[in-house]
Amino acid sequence: MDQEPVLNPEDLKFLIKMLFDPKQLENINTNRSATISYTLERKFRFRVNAFFQKGQLSITCKVVPQTILDLNNIGLSPGAIKLADASVGLVLVAGPGLSGRTTTVASMLKHINSTRTSYILTIEEPIEYVMTSSRSIVEQREVGKDTESFERAAQNLIEEDAKIVFVSELKTPEMHERVLELVQSGRLVFAIVDGLGAVDVLETFVANCSPEKHSWARRLLPQFLNAVVVQRLMPRAGGGQVLAHELLLITPGVRTAMRDQTGYASLQHIIQTAKADGMHTIDQSIADLVRGGLVFDQQARGQMRSPQALDSLLRNTN
């Protein structure tokens, strides 16, 4: 790569025009960014993001593996792995960009597809992992190609027979509300959202619904939420990356706390102290990686909410 020439602005514009169709190019000019998937010679698949920075067009390309990893091999805790066995409910998968959120959901859908008979439907922009039907029927719809928008696809989905749904992003109040409606109708829904902690994810989810729907969303979430998974990828000792994640699971205590009129203030303490129920904070997950020799001490402290807590977490083996 060091021997390859640096792309100048004109080269970059030509490359973007070659990769993106006219509607996507219009989206770049209007919204200042667009993301697509691109397959090269039927062998290599990329997630391509075009955007502006400092007034200039830029582009990033991420290689998407052709093979979806098995659920047991991506670094999830046992409590998170069991989420794929549910038949109804809402699973929110959060974290910063490039934290492996889509990989996590794809592995869960692969597990479902290979272990039980169902109808899986995904709404994505773009489609990253291409899935084929196994024991389940799998349909993947890409926004901008197969459907006009997330909102239109979700609206149509209410009338369809899909039992398991994946939505790759929730950006509008309507989509947050549609997801709750889908779960309310008896489906298992996986959705990718932004957020750096489980409590933050829940508060943001409610806030992103229409103002007149806030109380409705607060009432439905304790009924239908299965879990919040918040993850990040960390440098692995010796090379590569390893997954750290926070996990909030719905228990009677969590459900009661979520119905509290004061909000979700007590949930963080529940996550910290409910290891027996399978829950853990991101700091506890990172400490486990350090204890197992997978992450170096210094890198761990830089990723923790409370870096000073690492020593006490390492001493606590319970």
Tell whether 59 and 96 lie within a shared domain: no
Tell whether 146 and 174 lie within a shared domain: yes
Q: Is residue 301 part of a domain?
A: no
Tell whether 132 and 59 lie within a shared domain: no
Q: Which residues contact 182 (CB under 8 A, 6 or more apart)?
A: 154, 157, 158, 165, 189
- Residue tagged 């409606």 (tokens): 181
Tell whether 20 and 169 lie within a shared domain: no
Q: Which residues contact 82 (CB under 8 A, 6 or more apart)?
A: 278
Tell whether 55 and 34 lie within a shared domain: yes
Q: Is residue 265 part of a domain?
A: yes
Tell whether 182 and 51 lie within a shared domain: no
pLDDT means over runs of 10, the chain (318 residues): 71 89 88 86 83 89 88 97 98 94 97 97 94 97 92 89 96 96 96 95 96 96 98 94 97 93 86 96 96 94 88 80
Could you tell me the residue range of the domain that residue 202 belongs to? 71-280
CATH of the domain at 270: 3.40.50.300
Tell whether 124 and 143 lie within a shared domain: yes
Angle at 45 between CA 39 and CA 46, to 5 degrees: 100
Q: Is residue 25 part of a domain?
A: yes
- Domain count for the chain: 2
Report how far apart, in Å, the C-alpha atoms of 47 and of each of 60, 97, 258, 292 are.
Answer: 8, 12, 37, 32
Domain end, chosen from 64, 80, 102, is at: 64
Task: State the CB neighbour count (10 A cutoff) for residue 170.
Answer: 22
pTM assigned to the model: 0.90
Report how far apart, in Å, the C-alpha atoms of 251 and of each of 221, 276, 297, 310 are.
Answer: 13, 11, 33, 27
Strand-pair partners of 232: 244
Closest by CA to 77, choosing from 104, 97, 96, is 104
Q: Is residue 174 part of a domain?
A: yes
Tell whether 91 and 220 lie within a shared domain: yes
List the structure tokens of 82: 């069991």
CATH of the domain at 46: 3.30.450.90
Q: Is residue 258 part of a domain?
A: yes
| Amino acid code (one letter) for 150 | F
Q: Is residue 155 part of a domain?
A: yes
Q: Is residue 316 part of a domain?
A: no
Residue 227: burial class (beta carbons within 10 Å; 0-12, 13-18, 19+): buried
Tell whether 92 and 59 lie within a shared domain: no
Q: Is residue 39 part of a domain?
A: yes
Phi, psi of 124 (to 5 degrees): -135, 155
Tell whether 113 and 246 lie within a shared domain: yes
Residue-level pLDDT at 160: 87
| Rounded-to-10 torsion of CA 4, 9, 12, 14 | -120
Tell whether 173 and 225 lie within a shared domain: yes
Tell whether 178 and 260 lie within a shared domain: yes
What single string gives the DSSP state of each residue in the chain?
-TTSPPPPHHHHHHHHHHHS-HHHHHHHHHHSEEEEEEEETTTEEEEEEEEEETTEEEEEEEEEPSSPPPGGGS---HHHHGGGG-SSEEEEEE-STTSSHHHHHHHHHHHHHHHS--EEEEEESS--S----SSSEEEEEEBTTTBS-HHHHHHHHTTS--SEEEES---SHHHHHHHHHHHHTT-EEEEEE--SSHHHHHHHHHHTS-GGGHHHHHHHHHHHEEEEEEEEEEEPTTSSEEEEEEEEE--HHHHHHHH-TT-STTHHHHHHH-GGGT-B-HHHHHHHHHHTTSS-HHHHHHH-SSGGGHHHHHH---
